[in-house]
Amino acid sequence: MKGNMEFQNSVIDDFVIVKSDGFPTYNFAVVIDDHLMKITHVFRGEDHLSNTPKQIMIYNALGWTPPEFMHIPLILGSDRTPLSKRHGATSVEFFRKRGILSAALMNYLALLGWSVGEEEVFIIKEKLKDFNPSDISNKGVVFDPQKLEWINGKHLRSLDLEDLLNEFTQWLKHVGKPVPEQDKDYVLQVLKICREKVNTMEQLYEFSNPFFNDYVEYDQEYIDKYLKLECSREVLIKSIEVLNKLQDWSVDSVETAIRKIAAMKIASKGKTFQIIRGAVTGKLVTPGLFETIATLGKRNSLQRLSHTIEFLNKLR
């Protein structure tokens, strides 16, 4: 906060309140708007400090009582200059499209300039009762996109699964992506295992998408690093043989089966896991392998393993 500040009228030049085209300037329009909305307290960035005496003059000229004004430090970019478009995204719509939850964005913005104690992740409405303007920082703060993403991940994982499904569905519609048509319980299970490794709705979509498609698109990295290995075909064949005999399709049972395949030493354990992972999802970074296969189910998993062998035959 700046404390009490005084400005001499004599150093303020005549200023325009209505332009030649009849449109009001900012200083005039904001006074009218705030008065009609019965605004009593105005918090603005310190870059608006020079506008405030002009606005007070307008209030006085109109016979209205000015609100209380408070000017706070600006949010800065990584170069410690005022945050702007040159630093990347600064709009709410950008963060919405990336899949940042509104609760997380409010949480992070509150952390930037307000002393809220040791707790970093919270619901803003639960903290409002403790808000005091004197707790607002008097120093510029740097916007950290990675910290925002981390906080968003915490909020995302704390949501009830039903609420997460609702948020995810709304986000998919907002960005124009298809909404999963599978059984609700299946979709909930997919979101449950996928959200553990992601921080945004955008990342959740990328992680969960292989579960909602009937076909697998293989990342080139998987093809080059694992599928082209001489041992990959045998790993896939043995995987089909072992998993086809499996009656209990729980995570624990699937884990035992996959580890049994790795114990055959056709390839190293790491390579075995990655060959199977890529075969059922097309990707090398996924939710836990055992959880992934258990969630996909026996029919889907075996079909994808078989399809990968067919794809491999075309490569060679």
**Residues labelled as active-site residues:** 85
Q: How far apart are CA 99 and CA 235, in angstroms?
A: 37
User: Exposure string (b/e) for 37-60, b if CB count within 10 Å is 16 or more?
Assistant: eeeeebeeebebeebbbbbebbee
Whether residue 305 contacts residue 239, with contact meaning beta carbons closer than 8 Å, is answered with yes
Assign residue 204 a region (left: φ > 0; alpha: ψ between -120 and 50; beta: otherwise): alpha
Q: What angle do CA 65, 66, 68 make, to 5 degrees?
A: 130
Cβ partners under 8 Å of residue 33, min gap 6: none
Distance, CA of 233 to CA of 5 (rounded, Å): 77
Q: Which residues pair with 18 in a beta bridge?
A: 24
Burial 13-36 (b: 16+ CB within 10 A, else e): eeeebeeeeeeeeebbebbeebbe
Alpha carbon 225 to its chain's center: 30
Helix (H, G, I), strand (E, B) or coil at 83: coil
